[in-house]
Amino acid sequence: MTTAPRRATLEMLGISGARLASLVQVGGLREWREIHSPLDGTTLIGSVPVGTADDMVAATQRARAAQPAWAKTPLRQRCAIASRFRDLVIDNADALLDLVHWENGKSRVNAYEELLDTALTAGYYSVAAPCHLATKVRAGAIPVLTSTRETYRPKGVVGIISPWNYPLTVAVSDAIPALIAGNACVLKPDSTTPFTALAAVELLYQAGLPRDVFQVVTGPGEALGTPLINNVDYLMFTGSTATGRKVAAQASERLIGCSMELGGKNPLLVLADANMEYTVEGAVQACFSTTGQLCVSIERIYVAEQRYAEFCDKFAQRVKAIKLGAGFGWDDADLGPLISTSHLAKVAAHVDDALAKAATLLAGGHARPDLGPTFFEPTVLTGVTEDMALAREETFGPVVSIYSVASDAEAIARANDTEYGLNASVWSSSVCHARKVAAELTAGTININEGYAAAWASHDSPMGGTGISGLGRRHGSDGIVKYCEPRSVAVQRGLLIAPPKWTSRENYARVMNLAARVMHRIPGIVSV
Ligand code: NAD
């Protein structure tokens, strides 16, 4: 890796020294943090200021000052900015992919997944937002006499805390609906991947977004989280369940809304009638994309017992053929390294613990220091038992366990036997059969004959977790309306909703009791 193209890429994406210096919101001495690429652990991408609590407060104040004018900007103009942003993401794809690759380490093909998701999310909301935010006519209290409308006002300032694993799409894709809805945003990206987030926000500015409407503060979550939460009107958090619990508690203390997109221990079910070649290929993608560092990634596979041996054999063979590497080309590598040495240690500890307790290794199982400091082989285990850490804990790495199940009922029960509930995947040659199984699963997204991408990329439909996988939803109507205060405006004509003077209160109560029994059966009285 050479320095010149790196600098050129950052400059092409609008990240100059002056831009980085502008991240410092208040005066005074500031530490700068060097960002090194996980590809080799040494290549310096650049340095960013370590923001302070004062920087965060100042950023939220700038955003708050800019928000009212932004909310008055016509909705079609806000949508047009999102649409231009989509085009800029596609126009700058090569530079963005290089940056994601440097900063996160994921292979180019995996980086493209999130680039495409960013473009598609922006495109979706640029078209769908006017419908989601349109004033809705609702059934009034008294037919004919009450006309009621539901309207949406932006919350104000939305705080966004994002992780390192999808540094491009998670940093901006949740901000886009918030911005279109008329909010200002303040983003705190993960400390290890700030440049990708900054590049994405620069493209939003290039698309026409006023700078103060979207502020970025780089630095550690422990120092910046509290001042962010204390100064915003809504919090969008994506990260681990442990951190999610802490920030949700702070948001609830302030009685502000929050959306929590957290971890998972996602199951994949191979039913007896699954098409084996197709299922094996899909399961490899589902378990190992972004080296398993994906919230919706599969970590448990339940296979109908009559197909278990066949699946294990074919899956292990296919996993052994996965190419690890650090190359920038589309075909140089299927998978890149893990994000850090500390994460590598956690993943290796899960595997070592399982092997020490007599799990069986079908593929992988080892770190690959010959390729780089944080490479770990895609790993397949069987014989995993409850006493092993990875049986229930999220590994968040390229490690999957396979279990044999005697029936669909057992597969469903074991898939649901988790505190998490983010994603699940079902494979069968009969969609009808798969739908029946899917109906019994508790996860927030369920993919049939796909691992995770079909539901995630269905941007018109909600995505999020149940249980300790989170609160709230992104995508679809939920993904934009959550950034608004829905309000009911009701106009009453001719009659107050109180006993009239011309009859007794008792008569009034009799008439209203009758109305209460029949009113909601009249067509058009309830808007659905
Ligand atoms: P993390 O919780 O350690 O960090 C996430 C973000 O929170 C980072 O920006 C970090 O700086 C910040 N943070 C840390 N401590 C904080 C605090 N006390 N207050 C406020 N902010 C704080 O998570 P991670 O390790 O970066 O990400 C991996 C986790 O994220 C996995 O569990 C994964 O499943 C989850 N994830 C979930 C989704 C989803 O959509 N459900 C998507 C991506 C990742």
pLDDT at 23: 87
CA proximity to 346, closest of 389, 405, 404: 389
236 and 381 share one domain: no
246 and 189 share one domain: yes
Count H helices and E strands in the chain, helices first: 19, 18
Q: Which residues pair with 169 in a beta bridge?
A: none
The answer to the question of residue 32 being in a domain is: no
Catalytic residue among 103, 113, 114, 261: 261
The answer to the question of residue 516 being in a domain is: no
Q: What is the CA radius of gyration of the chain?
A: 26
Q: For 148-166, give one letter per residue: b (16+ CB within 10 A) or e.
A: bebebebbbbbbbbbbbbb
Task: Give, for ligand 1, the residue of 170, 173, 190, 466 to mutate: max count of ligand atoms closer than 8 Å to Cβ.
Answer: 190
CA proximity to 163, closest of 295, 24, 350: 295
Counting residues of the chain whose pLDDT is more than 70, the rounded percentage is 98
372 lies in which domain range? 266-464
In 156-269, which ranges are continuous DSSP H helix?
A: 169-172, 175-180, 194-206, 221-229, 241-254
Q: Per-residue pLDDT for 57 more than 70?
A: yes
The answer to the question of residue 14 being in a domain is: no
Confirm or reject: Cβ of 246 under 6 Å from ligand 1.
Answer: yes
| pLDDT one-digit tens code per residue, 232-245 | 999 999 999 999 99
Residue-by-residue DSSP string for 245-270? HHHHHHHHHHT-EEEEE----EEEEE
| pLDDT one-digit tens code per residue, 491-501 | 999 889 999 99
Q: Which of 14-28, 292-306, 499-513 has the lowest mean pLDDT?
A: 14-28
The type of residue at 115 is: L
The answer to the question of residue 503 being in a domain is: no
Q: Which residues pair with 147 in a beta bridge?
A: 491
Ligand 1 geometric centre to CA of 467 (Å)? 17
Q: Are 388 and 357 in contact (CB under 8 A)?
A: yes
Ligand 1 geometric centre to CA of 336 (Å)? 20
Ligand 1 geometric centre to CA of 266 (Å)? 17
310 classed as catalytic: no
CA proximity to 468, closest of 163, 225, 174, 242: 242
314 and 348 share one domain: yes
Burial of 138 (0-12, 13-18, 19+ CB in 10 A): middle
pLDDT at 1: 52
The answer to the question of residue 255 being in a domain is: yes
| pLDDT one-digit tens code per residue, 156-208 | 999 999 999 999 999 999 999 999 999 999 999 999 999 999 999 999 999 99
Q: What pLDDT band is residue 490 in, cutting at 50, 70 and 90?
A: very high
pLDDT at 19: 87
Q: What is the mean pLDDT of residues 470-476?
A: 98
Cα(298)–Cα(285) distance, integer angstroms: 9
How far is CA 56 from each of CA 24, 107, 311, 331, 445, rounded to the nearest angstrom? 9, 33, 51, 41, 34
Ligand 1 geometric centre to CA of 262 (Å)? 7
Q: Per-residue pLDDT for 56 more than 80?
A: yes
Model confidence, pTM? 0.96
pLDDT at 528: 53
Q: Per-residue pLDDT for 527 more than 70?
A: no
Cα(100)–Cα(115) distance, integer angstroms: 9
Ligand 1 geometric centre to CA of 93 (Å)? 25
261 classed as catalytic: yes
Task: Tally the residues of the chain.
Answer: 528
Confirm or reject: Cβ of 218 under 6 Å from ligand 1.
Answer: no
pLDDT at 393: 98
How far is CA 368 from each of CA 321, 431, 455, rounded to the nearest angstrom? 15, 40, 33
| pLDDT one-digit tens code per residue, 72-123 | 999 999 999 999 999 999 999 999 999 999 999 999 999 999 999 999 999 9
- Nearest atom of ligand 1 to the alpha carbon of 264: 34
The answer to the question of residue 160 being in a domain is: yes
CATH number at residue 138: 3.40.605.10
How far is CA 111 from each of CA 197, 426, 435, rounded to the nearest angstrom? 14, 25, 31
Q: What pLDDT band is residue 505 in, cutting at 50, 70 and 90?
A: very high
Q: Per-residue pLDDT for 139 more than 60?
A: yes
Q: Per-residue pLDDT for 28 more than 90?
A: no
Query: For the chain, how many structural domains are there in total?
Result: 2
213 and 349 share one domain: no
The answer to the question of residue 373 being in a domain is: yes
pLDDT at 29: 77
Counting residues of the chain whose pLDDT is more than 90, the rounded percentage is 91
Q: Are 80 and 315 in contact (CB under 8 A)?
A: no
Report how far apart the first and last C-alpha atoms of the chain are (Å, whole number).
58
Mean pLDDT over each residue of the chain, to the nearest integer:
96
Alpha carbon 199 to chain centroid distance?
Answer: 19
Q: Are 283 and 301 in contact (CB under 8 A)?
A: yes
Q: What pLDDT band is residue 20 in, cutting at 50, 70 and 90?
A: confident
The residue behind tokens 């044999």 is 404
Q: Are 258 and 247 in contact (CB under 8 A)?
A: yes
Alpha carbon 68 to chain centroid distance?
Answer: 27
Q: Which structure tokens are listed for 141? A: 């209290």
149 and 223 share one domain: yes
271 and 219 share one domain: no
Q: Are 393 and 415 in contact (CB under 8 A)?
A: no
Q: Are 29 and 55 in contact (CB under 8 A)?
A: no
Q: Which structure tokens are listed for 315? A: 């899956």
Q: Are 271 and 426 in contact (CB under 8 A)?
A: yes
Q: Which structure tokens are listed for 352? A: 């070592």
Taking the CA of residue 313 as centre, how many other CA atoms within 13 Å lie in the half-sphere pointing to its CB?
5
Cα(57)–Cα(232) distance, integer angstroms: 10
- Nearest atom of ligand 1 to the alpha carbon of 229: 20
191 and 87 share one domain: yes
CA proximity to 179, closest of 119, 122, 228: 122
Cα(287)–Cα(85) distance, integer angstroms: 31
- Indicate the SS3 state at residue 112: helix
Name, in order, each residue with C-beta under 8 angstroms of 283's C-beta and a sequence gap of 6 or more.
268, 270, 298, 301, 315, 425, 427, 451
Q: Are 363 and 399 in contact (CB under 8 A)?
A: no
How far is CA 406 from each of CA 303, 306, 316, rounded to the nearest angstrom? 9, 8, 21
pLDDT at 417: 98
456 and 393 share one domain: yes
The answer to the question of residue 410 being in a domain is: yes
pLDDT at 73: 98
CATH number at residue 418: 3.40.309.10
527 vs 379, which has greater pLDDT?
Answer: 379
Confirm or reject: Cβ of 261 under 6 Å from ligand 1.
Answer: yes
240 and 284 share one domain: no
| pLDDT one-digit tens code per residue, 29-50 | 789 999 999 999 999 999 999 9
130 and 182 share one domain: yes
pLDDT at 5: 57
256 and 350 share one domain: no
214 and 320 share one domain: no
Q: What is the mean pLDDT of residues 285-303?
A: 98
